[in-house]
Amino acid sequence: MSPEKGEADLARIQERMDRLGIDPRLKDYVTRSIRFHTHPAPGVLIAVFMVDYALEILGATPGERLYAVCETRKCAPDPVQVILGCTTGNKGLQVLPIGRFALTLNRPSDGPTSDGVRVYVDPAKVKAFPAIRAWYTNAPGFDKKKQEGALTDEIFRAGREILSFKRVRVKVPGKEKWEAALCSCCGEMVPGDLLEDGACSGCGSLAYYEEI
């Protein structure tokens, strides 16, 4: 997508948010998330409300060190990264390919677990919003292009009304020491505990290319 088209799409969304009286805090989250994602995907907008809701329940602010798990690879990881600074690279964000439109936030903990909050799109609540429902269920006949305006308005009108939450306890990963090891196949270095029968997983179960 061209930068010009991206900014034009964003301007349209901002105009909608102004018309619907969206809170400046959310407007800022939405703007930054769309720029990062490069287009105003419905999942990005919904995930902004999810992050905002989770922060409120947790009594946390975006400046705090937090940990997040996204249960989908689609859209939701981006507002988490932009708003919270929890990234895949700084280990603040884990993305699990479960496919549920849900995310969990928790604070750091010195113990083996941390209590947090899981916010999810609730199928029972989505029923009251036909455009969101069509998007959420990937309904046959749902035309993303044609219904984009109606869908966006509905997402902003619904806000948190399509969301539910649970208080949850998550395992905190240990900070084990690690030693580097050479892969017997490619000869490159990896943490030793990631070897599979002496070879790295890139040469084994996670191989994704062949040399040309």
The least distance separating Zn ion from the CB of residue 121, rounded to whole angstroms, comes to 40
| 26 is a site residue for Zn ion (CB under 5 A) | no
- Candidates 95, 170, 181, 185; binder of Zn ion (CB under 5 A) is 185
* Closest CB 163 distance from Zn ion, rounded Å: 43
Q: Which is nearer to Zn ion, 2 or 205 (CB)?
A: 205
**Of 40-48, 50-58, 116-124, 185-193, which segment contacts Zn ion by CB under 5 A?**
185-193
One residue of 186, 189, 194, 207 binding Zn ion per CB under 5 A: 186
Sheet strand arrangement including 102-106: 93-95, 67-70, 102-106, 113-121, 163-171
* Residue 189 engages Zn ion in binding (rule: CB under 5 A): no
Using rule CB under 5 A, residue 181 touches Zn ion: no
Judge whether 198 and 187 are in contact, CB under 8 Å.
no
Looking at the Cβ atoms of 28 and 188, the one nearer to Zn ion is 188
- Site track 125-164 with Zn ion (rule: CB under 5 A), x = hit: ----------------------------------------
Select the residue interacting with Zn ion from 66, 82, 102, 183 (CB under 5 A).
183
Which CB, 110 or 211, lies closer to Zn ion? Answer: 211
If one asks whether residue 83 binds Zn ion (CB under 5 A), the answer comes out as: no
The yes or no reply on residue 194 touching Zn ion (CB under 5 A) is no
Instruction: By CB under 5 A, tell whether 200 contacts Zn ion.
Output: yes
CA distance 206 to 67: 26
Question: What's the closest the beta carbon of residue 199 comes to Zn ion, in angstroms?
Answer: 5
3-state SS of the chain? CCHHHHHHHHHHHHHHHHHCCCCHHHHHHHHHHHHHHCCCCHHHHHHHHHHHHHHHHHCCCCCCCCEEEECCCCCCHHHHHHHHCCCCCCCCEEECCCCCCEEEEECCCCCCEEEEEEEEECHHHHCCCHHHHHHHCCCCCCCHHHHHHHHHHHHHHHHHHHEEEEEEEEECCCCCCCCEEECCCCCCEEEHHHCECCECCCCCCCCCCCCC
Site residues, Zn ion (CB under 5 A): 183, 185-186, 200, 203
